[in-house]
């Protein structure tokens, strides 16, 4: 019988329903990398036992190990205020540029990349400052946007997640419950509304 707390990609859905793990709730955007590592260490073995994909397991090992050197932040990220970053993850350069241009008009500073792996590198370096992640389902690299959303929901649960796709009109069944789904072509007003929600009210774990 399938584990009700795991999605079809084998990524556990932590922090949802009555069985949410209190260790996840200890994570907050203000915690340092070392503190996040200490919190993850207490339930890392359970995550692996439940079948977390290897690429996510590697990320957890890196985050929980203080000696793991985080990549240098992108130049555009220097000097930003905490909680004032938006991250656009889109493999189509034209659509990525359009989303970045739109978000540049908001109070959030913007970073962008084309793969989930690059997005997780940015989150490791600046995750506590990222208020919103806007990701396509289809991405360059191994992981897709659904898996990226699951990883971010697990490791940075207060980040608001918005996932989009041009290949489906319905919400993917494996998408983390915390994430908002917007089909393409998305309207600027829809994205700006999510920015406002991320700016005003931190996204919390669902009860």
pTM here is 0.62
Estimate the crossing angle of helix 145-155 against helix 116-126, to 10 degrees: 20
Task: State pLDDT tens for residues 113-155.
Answer: 999 999 999 999 999 899 999 999 999 999 999 999 999 999 9
Question: Token match 């205020």: residue?
Answer: 81
Q: Which domains are seen in the chain, by residue range?
A: 22-64 (no CATH), 75-200 (3.40.50.2300)
Measured between alpha carbons, how far is residue 161 from residues 48, 49, 64, 69, 129 in Å? 24, 26, 23, 26, 14
Task: State pLDDT tens for residues 189-207.
Answer: 999 999 998 877 654 443 3
DSSP one-letter code for 169: S
d(CA 83, CA 102) in angstroms, rounded, equals 18
């Amino acid at each position: 019988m399938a584990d009700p707390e795991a999605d079809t990609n084998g990524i556990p859905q932590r922090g949802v329903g009555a069985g949410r793990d209190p260790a996840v709730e200890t994570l907050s955007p203000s915690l340092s990398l070392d503190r996040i590592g200490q919190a993850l260490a207490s339930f890392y073995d359970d995550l692996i036992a439940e079948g977390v994909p290897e690429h996510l397991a590697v990320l957890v090992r890196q985050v929980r190990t203080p000696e793991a050197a985080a990549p240098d932040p992108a130049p555009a990220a220097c000097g930003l205020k905490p909680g004032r970053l938006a991250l656009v993850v889109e493999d189509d350069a034209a659509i990525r540029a359009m989303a970045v241009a739109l978000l540049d008009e908001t109070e959030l500073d913007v970073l962008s990349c084309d793969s989930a792996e690059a997005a997780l590198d940015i989150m490791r370096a600046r995750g506590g400052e990222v208020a919103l992640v806007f990701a396509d389902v289809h991405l360059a690299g191994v992981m897709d946007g659904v898996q990226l959303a699951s990883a971010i929901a697990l490791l940075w649960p207060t980040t608001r997640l918005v996932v989009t796709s041009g290949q489906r009109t319905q919400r993917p069944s494996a998408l983390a419950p915390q994430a908002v789904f917007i089909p393409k072509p998305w309207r600027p007003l829809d994205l700006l509304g999510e920015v406002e929600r991320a700016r005003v009210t931190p996204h919390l774990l669902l009860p």
